[in-house]
Amino acid sequence: MTEPVVYLNGDMLPLSEARIPVLDRGFIFGDGIYEVIPLYDARPFRAQQHLARLQRSLASIGIPDPFSATEWLALITRVVTANALGDQMVYIQVTRGVAKRAHAFPKEVTPTVLIMTNPLVLPAAALREKGVACVTMEDRRWLNCQIKSVSLLGNVLAAQHAAVNGVTETIQFRDGFLTEASSSNVWVVKGGRVSAPPKDNLILEGIRYGLMEELCAAMDISLEARRITRDEVFGADELIISSATKEILPVVTLDGSTIGTGQPGPVFAKLYAGYQAAKLASSDELTTS
């Protein structure tokens, strides 16, 4: 297999030759942000929304955006073109850059920019057809979860909790209310209506959040953003998780308790079909220049 080619600070390099200095603030402080953009058959899905979130994340931590959306798309195109893959996930990371270790922002520093791509391995059909198991834990992360920060230790610990329990995700609660999973948003279905935690500082607003809003509106499914209690989650008819790499998945057990009928439900089925149709209808293109 040929080695992946990545973009690092202006260069296209084989992955094994891509290096950053140890004083990079991403390494020292986790001082940076990232994005994960899915591509189907080399066509980016909702790239503009991902790039807008990238810009928001950078602005929220005071890193100047090194590129315009058009320039980002051109760089993504370079990386995608250099790697012969089908469905893939493009990973972008921007850190504040390299400077002597001191917590406050250095005065003159150039952001470090990495873009790489990997095959997008979607969940096996059996997981969609049978549903997945999840566990819960208290959300002990910081209070700026809306930033797609590379400081992911809290998310890593939550993901590890799922891994040691042999399940797909850890769904988190803060002070008794649903927030999100380690790397997915969570959707609660009751009586045919969908609820989700509000888009605030307690969750990352997934790009699929906007998509679910559009799908629900198009299908006349009521969607409400509100605080959701632990009891409501366990008492849901259906529970759904969403992310760029999972698309949407039905959750059928939580901490070993059955959710709803224990089978993927009709609202999931409709939304999943809508998701697939949205992928096919997407007019996003890589740049041709």
* Interaction site with ligand PDD (CB under 6 A): 36, 155, 180, 183-185, 204, 206-208, 242-245
The CB-nearest residue to ligand PDD is 206
| Least distance from ligand PDD to the Cβ atom of residue 100, Å | 30
Q: Residue 92 pairs with which residues in a beta bridge?
A: 35, 115
CB closer to ligand PDD out of 99 and 155: 155
CB closer to ligand PDD out of 151 and 263: 151
> Which residue of the set 100, 107, 148, 190 is catalytic?
148
Please confirm, yes or no, whether 148 is among the known catalytic residues. Answer: yes
| Least distance from ligand PDD to the Cβ atom of residue 191, Å | 25
Distance between CA atoms of residues 237 and 265, nearest Å: 8
Distance between CA atoms of residues 145 and 148, nearest Å: 7
Whether 33 and 150 have beta carbons less than 8 Å apart is answered as: yes
Give the chain's end-to-end CA distance (angstroms, integer): 28
Whether 36 and 152 have beta carbons less than 8 Å apart is answered as: no
| Least distance from ligand PDD to the Cβ atom of residue 87, Å | 14
> DSSP letters along 162-179, please?
HHHTT-SEEEEEETTEEE
Closest CA to 33 of 103, 96, 108: 96
CB closer to ligand PDD out of 89 and 113: 89
| Least distance from ligand PDD to the Cβ atom of residue 209, Å | 7
Helix (H, G, I), strand (E, B) or coil at 26: helix
CA distances from 57 to 84, 146, 174 (A): 29, 8, 23
Distance between CA atoms of residues 199 and 226, nearest Å: 9
Closest CA to 196 of 184, 207, 188: 188
Chain-centroid distance of CA 258 in Å reads 26
| Least distance from ligand PDD to the Cβ atom of residue 259, Å | 20
Annotated catalytic sites, by residue?
148
